[in-house]
Each structure stands twice: as C-alpha cells, then as structure tokens.
A and B are shown apart, each in its own frame.
Chain A
Amino acid sequence: MAEPPRVPPEMFRFTSTERADLHTAVLHAFGEAGERLVTALTVDEVRERLRSAGWYAPVSEQDLAGTLKQLAGWGLLDVIFNHAGSFATAEEYERRNLQYALTRRGEAALTGMRHAMAALSSVGALQTAVLDALADRLEELDRLLRDPDPGRNRRIFTCLRELEGHLDGLRADIRGFNGELQRLLRVEGADVAAFHADLATFHEVKAATVAYLQEFVTSLERRGETIAAALEAVAGHGAGVLHARALDGADLPRMPGTDQATAWLAARAARWEALRAWFAPEDGSAPRVRRLHDVARRAIVSLLQVLDRITDSRRRSSSAAADFRTLARWFATAPGEDDAHRLWDAAFGLGSARHAHLGHADAELIPAGVPWAEAEPVEVSALLRSRGRTERMGRTGKVRDVAALKAGRRKRAEQERAELEAAWSALATTGAMRLSQLGKLDHDTFGRLLDLLGRALAERPDSTGFRRAVTSDGRVEIVLRTPEDGAVAVLRTPEGWFRGPDYLIDVRTLGETGLHGRAAGA
C-alpha cells in the first residue's frame, strides 16, 4: 500500500493565520500574474495587482512587506534581487529592486487552494457522456494501435491524455456525487426542517434524485460493459506498446541528467491500472463501477423509503406505530422534564406504586380516625437516626426465622392433623347410633362434632329423611336423621353441657387411612 501523502510543512499555513485574507490575496495576485506569464513582482506591483485579486482594503507598507516576508519564510515565495536596476537609498533599493516570485511550493499551494475551493463549490453529478467518451477514446486507441505507422503516435498520445482526463473526471464526479448522495441520506433532519413548510419541494428534490439515479443506473451496466470490452481490445495490443508509442508521441523535452521517460511511463502505468480497476480488473475481482451501481441502488431504496414515510405520516393512521410517533412528538416538545415524566406515566403506566414499609407491630390496637399526631409513631431503627444505617442483621435473621417458622408450622399442622384424625376416630361410629350414646366428650372432639352436625343439618333431607354431608377435605361423611320420638340428648364436656335433639348419626371416615371406625363400619 502507498503511504498517505505528506504535505510539506507550513505549505498551507497561510490559510490559517490571522492575516489569512491578505496572505491569500497576495498569493492570488502572483497566480494572476503567472497566467499573464509575469513571474516576478516588486512590492509596488504586488500592491497594484492586489486589486485584481479582489483585495480593496488599504494595506500599509509595513503590512505588505511583512506579508511578503512571511510568505517567503514559508517557502512559498522566492526573493530575487535585481541588481541591474539603479538605486540611491536603501528604501528605494527595497522598493524597486527586490522582486518576489512563486516557488514550486508556492505554485502547488495556490493550486491546492484553488482546487479545494472548486471541490467545495462543485455540484456532484454523474454524466453518462463521460462514460461514452471513455468508450470512444478506447475504441479510437484500438484503431490507432492497429496501424503500425509511427506518425500515429502523436494521436495516440493525445488520445491517451483525453482518456486519462475523462477517467479523472469520472472519478472526481463519482466521489463528489456519492458524497452528496450520502449527505442527502444522512442529514435529512436539516432538510426536513428546511422543507417542512413545503413538503412538496422536499418530495420533489428526492423524487428528482431518484429518477436521476434510476436513469443513470439503467445505462450504467450497458456502458460499463462496452468500456470493458474496448479496454480488453486495447489491452490485446499490450499496455507496454501503447505507452511506448504514446511516449514517442509525447515528445518530452530532453534534459540532460534526468530520466523523465521512466517517471512518465510509471505514471501512465498507474493510470492504466486505475482504468482497469474501474471497468475490468485483471485479477478478475468486481469492477469498481459495479460498486457504484450498488450504492446507487441502495440510495434509491432509501430515498423511496423516506418518500413513503412522508406520505405515510400524512395519512395519519390510527395504528400503534402512529401512536408511538405522536408520543415521540409530544415528548420532544414537552415544556420541561417534569412534563415528560408525567406524560410517560400517563401514556405507559409502567411506574411503580410507592408505599410505606414500616408499620405498627399491632395496627389494630389504634382505632381508625385518630389523627396521626396522636397515634403511636412507628418504630424506626434507632441506628438509622444515630448512624445512618439500618440493622442489616434484621434481614438475615428474618430468613432464619422463616425456616424455623416453617418447621414450626409444619409440626403444628402435623399435630393438628393427628388430633383431627384422633377426633374423627373418636367420633366414628360403628354404624348408626344415637347422639346420646356418645355421652361424655372432650371439648375439641365436641367442637368437631358440632361442625359435623352443622354441616349435616345444612343439607336438605332426602326422601327417606336422611341428611348426608362430607367435611371440606372429603374424608369424613356423616349421615343424620332426625329422631322420630323427639328424644333429647345430653352431652357432657369438661366445659359444660350440650342439650339437643337426639339425632340418629352415622359417621364414617372415607380416607385411605383405614381407621378402625371405617373398618368396623364396612
């Protein structure tokens, strides 16, 4: 790979100092003079010519001298002493006999600046005419090379120059156009802001670009192939032959001690490579012009998308996408951050609730309707007030507590279960029996009996006068019948007496755990 070009130091310093305007104007003056084949200027002549370079402001003697000295210091101007002139005073000597001329570097700097300005103001355009011209020149070269007459060499030289000129033009155009295209795709924001009042204009610009690109792309492929074919034909004669004959036709000035031909040939070979790379690379890789094709096609698609979007946004559909876009607009135009937060809350409702987490140990002790100031305060960690920390152990301790609590709960549940089973088995009857036969019961068992009786009595009697019910866990069934004799049963528990109708009951345990009552009942 070639190294990036290195610009000689201070070459463009004149464009960036405080006096850049004057510096540029002076250089321009030299450039103007050069076009008239005047190469050296005195201070007075420079002053005169400043006007033609577009500098009308007065310049003091000192300023101008300083500028010239500065430019000479940067290597852009040479100081030439005209010893042939007459002079009487030192001032006159300086005035008349010091002349300034552009150095090579100065010329390059001036050209560079002009080129830069031209590139800035150029309009990117793709011209199919350039492609046609490339093809024409290649065909002509092919024709000329068939003719071995050395008299043709001059034409071959000019033809090659034209070809190279067109290639340069094409490359510059494509670079410029692509840059502009990418900018068009990129800075739509600014465009739209500018065009928003007049969407139609915006529409037009993009639509015109699309049409232009489409036209260019359709002809690009065919023309690219024509050029590639012509290129192959010329290459058939050998690039070396072509260049050798062109060199002959070029008729370079002969200077002793310098080998201009080698450099010239090397430059031609590089250009030739570039031409091949664009249209028909020798290594068989994709020609660059194909890439231009891709870029153009992608640009067409993007531009059409943007156009679609404009029409779409005007259609004002009520779809979700439109909802989101509307919200985007509202957020963008919200007067303040707080308004945006409120809008977020209203539109998305994704915010969290917020609640106190400290409560009273026993909230029910404080009656409702008491003012807060009179109710007990909640307990806030004393550490938080004194140290700014809450007790961290509280959390881990709690976890341990939960495990213990669970174990305790499970144990209690098992115990309750066992008690329950015991109670059921105590109540389980061996077939139907009178309530009064139960006689004496402990209080818990009595409670369960009441629960069972309640369940049974809540059911409607069937046709035979029996009521049936099962407990909520489905394990105990009771069948009950109201006594026909109106007998009264009296049950005794350690805590008191129960008096009620002497029902006929039959309690069965249905669970898998065969209690003896079930076994007896079966």
Chain B
Amino acid sequence: MSSLANQLVRAEKEEIARAIRTLLGRPLVSRHDDPAAFDLIRKRRGPLIQWFDYFCGWRLVVEPRQGYARLVKTGPPGPRAASRPARRRRTTRAPFDRRRYTLLCLCSAELLTSPVTTIGMLARRVVQAAAVEPDVPAFDPVRNEERAAFVDAVKLLEHYGAVTAMDGVTEAYLGDEDAKVLYRVDTTRVIRLLAAPVPPSGARPPGEDGPAELTAEARYGGDEPTGTQRALWARHSLIRRLLDEPVVYRDELTPAQSAYAASLTGCRLLRRAAEEAGFVLEERAEGLLLVDPDAIATDTRFPDDGSHAKVAALLMLDLLVTSGPVTAGRLDAEAARLLRRFPQWARAYQSDGGGPRLAADALEVLTQFGLARRSGDQVAALPAAARYRVGRAVQEDS
C-alpha cells in the first residue's frame, strides 16, 4: 500500500543509511572534499546525531557553516589491530611512520597559534617545538627525507581541511625549502581532529597494552559502573565493534557483550541498527558481521581485484578452508606455485623471495578481514572464511 508519503519516508531512510555508512567510512566529511556527502549529512543531521548516540554512544558534530561533519569515533576498548594507519596522500597510500605522526602532532600544535601561516614559518616553528620537546628528535628541514615527512603531515592536515592552501601547493616544499605556500588555518577543526575522550596531556603515556587510558569514557562509570551504565556499555561497545570491524566472533566478546547479543532486546536492536544503517546483518553461530553491499563504509574490499595480494588471498583462502590449518611454509609454497602458474601476473612478486612476500601480504589481507589467523607457524581459517568458499558453479568452471 504505497503512497507518495511512503516514498518520501523511504527516500529519507535511504539517505540516512547512506550518511551513516559514509561517516563510518570517513569520520570527518568536509564540504571541500565531498560536497554531496556533506550536504546529505547536513540535511539529515538531526536523526543522524540521534542514531549514533543511541546505538553506539558516538558524538556526531555537524558544522553547517564551517563545512564539515565529524564523527567522534572512540574505538571499542581492548586490544585493537594496528590495521587502520593514517595514510600518505600520495598514490602509494603508504601508511604513516612514527616520524610522520610526530610531525603531524607538532604541526597541529603549532597551527593553533595563528589563523594564517606559511609553510616556511610552520616548519621553523616545528623545528623549535621539536627542539624543546623531550624525547622528540630534532626536525631538520634541510634534509630531503625530513621535508618529505613534513609534507606528508601537512598534506594530511590539508585533506582534513585543518589547513587550506590559499597560495601555492604544499608539494613545492619537497624540492625547495624556500617554497612559498600560504595557509589559512581552521583552528577549531584542528582541535576536532582529536577524538580521545581523555585529553592526552592529562593521561599516562601508553603502556604495554597500548593507549588504554586515552579511551576511558566517564559516561560508562569507569571502574564502578551502575547497572544502567553497564547495560549501556554492553550495548554501545558491542555495536561499535560490529560497526567498525569486518567480523565479530562470539568467543571474542566479553560476557556482558555476548549476553547482550544473545538477549531478545539485543538481537532486535542489532537488527534495527543494521537495517537503519543500510547494512545486512549476518548472524551465524560463530559470530556476527555486517555486509555493506555498496562498500561505502569500508576502506578496502575483499574479495576484490584491487591488488595482487587480494587475489592471492582469495585463492589461499580456498586452500585454508578446504585443507584446514596449514603451516606458513605451505602457504609460501602455494604462493610460489601461483606465481609459477601465471608468469605474466603480479610482476612485483615475480622475483626471488616473491612467494613468501606474496603469501605474507595475502595473509595480511585475510587477517584484516578477520578471515584467518596465524598462531606460531600455523595459519588457520576463521569461521567467516566459509562465506567465500568455492561454490559448485565455480568448481565446474575450473
């Protein structure tokens, strides 16, 4: 029984679902970067803010005039895979290293002092800042690799709209220390880059198990939560994991989380959250996962032909699913066999030691998607890997 009103409602639901997944994929959406996505979020900000707050306790800040929306995504607690590095804004998309992260932070601190700056002045201030900061190695812009790291940091800030080049391009600094680039600084946006609920300057340095103290949220009562806080935490932490990670296995959940996931309310809420965000919730005996058919809420896809490692990962997954846990050496041999079988393929790996390298990169892909795990010398497929096992049609084909 459809009507115009129903269609409007459906359109609105679709828009909200798309906006939710956009924000999950990019927690900072800027007008200058993606006007359409920003406009959508701006238009639907009311329900979006409510949705994120209700389901996962994340704050969504939409600044219609400043032109950005920031989902303050506090990671679920506990050990996190180091699989979401900042990436250089270059074609290689190589992850940041410690030096680049350090420079990014120093730049951010220095940018807060003035609304306009040039790349040379910023570099000079970073030199001074690095000099007085204990444990931070000196920054020497005379050296090429230091300038490259600095440019990567500035470019990432530019990508997030924290600085805008009004004259000149940042890359010019790579070749010439005296390059003239003028920036306008959006200081509030610089501050918004920080998402940790605890200000780092007041927290203890990260210990053995990572920066745990940074992500402690007072809202859930800390060490002595009330019953309500505990229930809220179970809900939020579970949904956060589900929204952020490719697969959530039941045996990785805390007792409170698995109790919540098994409860009637929990089930209903998970389904509602998935449906409203435009995901398909897959509930299996071993765990849960969300499928995003449009691949909006993901930085990378699998299975996909995006890289040779991904293609190899799929083929190795077949081996892992059919032959059970295998040794790492067996995977290396399999990769080498693939390379021999398709000599025109994956040229970057067609050299000495290419097999083990390809196997390692493929395993990395599988680990990122929660499909395989390496323990010691053994590599085993995880339950969700069965989703991609070879179907009958393909077997006939090959």
Interface residues of A (CB under 8 A from B): 186-193, 196, 302, 305-306, 309-310, 313, 316-334, 337-360, 363, 368-373, 375-382, 384-386, 388-390, 413, 416-417, 420, 447, 451, 472-473
Contact = CB atoms under 8 A, between A and B. Distances in A.
A345 B303 CA distance: 25
Nearest to B108: A324
Interface stretch (B39-47, B192-200, B227-235): B192-200
Interface of B: 1-5, 7, 24-28, 71-75, 80, 82-86, 95-98, 101-103, 105-106, 108-110, 112-113, 127-140, 160, 190-191, 193-196, 199-202, 205-206, 210-211, 214-215, 243-247, 267, 279-280, 282-286, 289-295, 297-305, 308, 311, 314-315, 318, 342, 345, 368-369, 383-391, 393-394, 397-398
A346 B196 contact: yes
B51 to A, nearest CB: 15
Contact of B136 (A323, A328, A354): A328
B105 A341 contact: no
B341 to A, nearest CB: 11
Listed from nearest, the 7 A-B pairs whose CB atoms lie closest are A189-B138, A351-B84, A349-B195, A188-B131, A352-B299, A324-B109, A328-B105
Contacts of A385: 314-315, 318, 390, 394, 398
Contacts of A352: 24-27, 84, 297-299
B133 A305 contact: no
B25 A378 contact: no
25 contacts: A191-B131, A306-B131, A309-B132, A323-B109, A325-B201, A328-B103, A332-B136, A337-B98, A342-B211, A343-B211, A346-B75, A347-B200, A351-B73, A352-B84, A354-B369, A355-B292, A356-B387, A358-B291, A358-B388, A363-B280, A369-B285, A372-B285, A372-B384, A375-B284, A379-B391
B293 to A, nearest CB: 6
B111 to A, nearest CB: 9
Given A416-B2, A473-B4, A341 B131 contact: no
Contact of A325 (B106, B131, B214): B106
B3 A473 contact: yes
B105 A327 contact: yes
Given A346-B80, A346-B214, A384-B314, A356 B289 contact: yes
A316 B131 CA distance: 16
B82 A342 contact: yes
B295 A188 contact: no
Contacts of B301: 357
Contacts of A417: 4
Given A356-B292, A388-B308, A382 B397 contact: yes
Contacts of B101: 327-328, 331, 334, 340, 343-344
Contacts of A420: 3
A473 B210 contact: no
Given A189-B137, A329-B135, A377-B386, A340 B97 contact: yes
Nearest to A390: B305
B298 A353 contact: yes
B200 A377 contact: no
Contacts of A190: 138
Contact of B24 (A327, A353, A382): A353
A380 B194 contact: no
Contacts of A334: 98, 101, 206
A369 B27 CA distance: 32
B4 A354 contact: no
B285 A371 contact: yes
B121 to A, nearest CB: 12
A373 B321 CA distance: 9
A343 B98 CA distance: 10
Given A318-B199, A330-B211, A358 B129 contact: no
Contacts of A341: 82-85, 95-96
B27 A349 contact: yes
User: Which of A352, A356, A368 has the most chain B CB within a 10 Å cutoff?
Assistant: A356
Contacts of B282: 359, 363
A386 B102 contact: no
A161 B133 CA distance: 51
B82 A357 contact: no
Contacts of B24: 352-353
Nearest to A369: B285
A340 B95 CA distance: 11
B163 to A, nearest CB: 14
Given A328-B136, A349-B72, A372 B25 contact: no
B105 A325 contact: yes
Nearest to A417: B4
A332 B132 contact: no
B132 A327 contact: no
Given A346-B211, A352-B25, 15 more contacts: A318-B201, A322-B201, A325-B105, A325-B129, A327-B101, A328-B103, A329-B205, A337-B95, A345-B82, A348-B195, A352-B27, A352-B299, A356-B291, A372-B284, A385-B398
A195 to B, nearest CB: 10
Contact of B284 (A306, A331, A370): A370
Contacts of A333: 135, 205
A249 to B, nearest CB: 49
B267 to A, nearest CB: 8
A160 B396 CA distance: 104
B13 to A, nearest CB: 15
A306 B132 contact: yes
A347 B194 contact: yes
A384 B305 contact: yes
A352 B136 CA distance: 28
A313 B106 CA distance: 13
A320 B112 contact: yes
A372 B390 CA distance: 13
A353 to B, nearest CB: 4
A160 to B, nearest CB: 41
Nearest to B294: A357
B4 to A, nearest CB: 6
B194 A339 contact: no
A368 B264 CA distance: 13
A331 B106 CA distance: 11
A388 B108 CA distance: 42
Nearest to B9: A472
Given A416-B2, A420-B3, A377 B73 contact: no
A337 B84 CA distance: 12
B305 A389 contact: yes
Nearest to B27: A350
A323 B199 contact: yes
A350 B195 contact: yes
A349 B74 contact: yes
Nearest to B141: A186
A193 B106 CA distance: 18
A381 B315 CA distance: 12
B38 to A, nearest CB: 16
B98 to A, nearest CB: 5
